Structure 1
Amino acid sequence: MSSIPRPEAGEPLFPDGTSKTSAIVEVIVIGAAFIVLAHAAAAGLRLETLMPTFLNGPERAVGATFVAGAAAQIALVLAFALVFKDLRRAIVNSLQFGTIPAWGAALIAISIHAATIAFFFLDDPAQIFEPSRRNLFLSIAPAFDGWSQEVFFRGYVIYRLARGGLPVLAQIAVSALLFAAIHVGYVGDDLLSVIWPMFGTAVLGGFLAWSVLLARGALLPAVFCHAVLIVIVQPWLALS
């Protein structure tokens, strides 16, 4: 991690003297609340009747979950931002370009993740490139998660832990683990089909966190690359 630029005073990654304990407790409590509320909204909002008619039954259910989840996460980010200044800074910094190394780290991360999903979790990887209305809708519907999840799990979480003086590895680990936690339930039911995707998601989250640190807190590389990954593989992973 020696290649991560040293933050300067006034940047999001600068420690401000707050205690490590308060930073960790806040991040865990708010992170858990975000995850639980997002899952509850995605499960509780029944939007199947609003889905396009060109989707079949299972596709309408997946599409409804995508739309409900995306809307809930955006609403939660905006609501929590009223209270937490780190989240407000993350929203602003989601438009910051960052650095070339940050873009490189994010692009490498999503490339490996997409290839892993395509070759090991999809029966027919060629369907990713299927030109259809179904593909277009199910790709775009969850794409906004790329913004909300990066602003929260990479922005808020890393900024808050950095302000508390937590070391870089702790910032990356907590960000990655919370990011993996929100994806519980998106995968299979048996133990192996849960463990491997969660491990892969945590690794992806770690690389995206590294990207944010390389960018000195700028979030656009992680936001853009996460959204691209969702557009490419999310529909087919959900329908597999």
Structure 2
Amino acid sequence: MKKIKITPKSLLKALPGILIVGFYWYWVNQRIISDSGQTFDLIGFFILMSLATAYFPLPANIIVLGAVKTADPLVVAVVGGVATLIAFLSEYVVFTLLFKFNKVANFKNTWVYQKVAPLFDKHRFFILAFTSFLPIPAEALRVYAITRKYPVVLFMLSGFAGRIPRYYLLGYYGKEYVGSIWFLAAVFLFPGVLLLAIRGGMALYKLLNARFSWRPKQPESVALAATASQVDDSDLE
């Protein structure tokens, strides 16, 4: 078993993740769960959602719940959808530039890139909009769309079309439970759990399909003909 070697360099790499998790914990406990009133206004919500991108990940679902604490869910959904247009545009520009470098371009050889390619090529706009609606990490698919030079306007509109209903449903049904740390923890962890469940389900399906693959039964007439042919061949010998 390979030992995990902890070095100052590895700790330095882990520091940003530790700081982000710590900030999330403080922000959720002190700003959303507290009864101090408004978490942030719609302008602050718009700015945060505009920054929630694949290269600067923010807990979008948690931010939505913080906004609906004092605002109408429909208004929050529309503002979040407009902010998504800006976020997707910045993603498109940033990753178009980054893929000119070899290290970033190596992403094309990863299994994530190769898995989403056939799915995306069939129904581009629908797949992008649907994955934007689902509360699962879909950054790999969006990056793939950018590498295929998918039109930037359609790229932005797909996020707009998927995020508005998602944010509205989340805000409408989650507004009453914003003060619960367990509910917020579930919302925060649900995307990762759902993605793991989907991958596990696909792996299980492939395993069962390979183990119990259905094979068509050979017609009786064909079997008799094959037997007769074998008998005739033996007589000739």
Scaled to the shorter chain, the TM-score interval is 0.3 to 0.5
Q: Which has the larger radius of gyration?
A: 2
Q: What's the TM-score once normalised by structure 2's chain length? A: 0.34
Larger relative contact order (Cα-Cα within 8 Å, sequence gap ≥ 6): 1
TM-score w.r.t. structure 1 length?
A: 0.34
Structure holding more helix per residue: 2
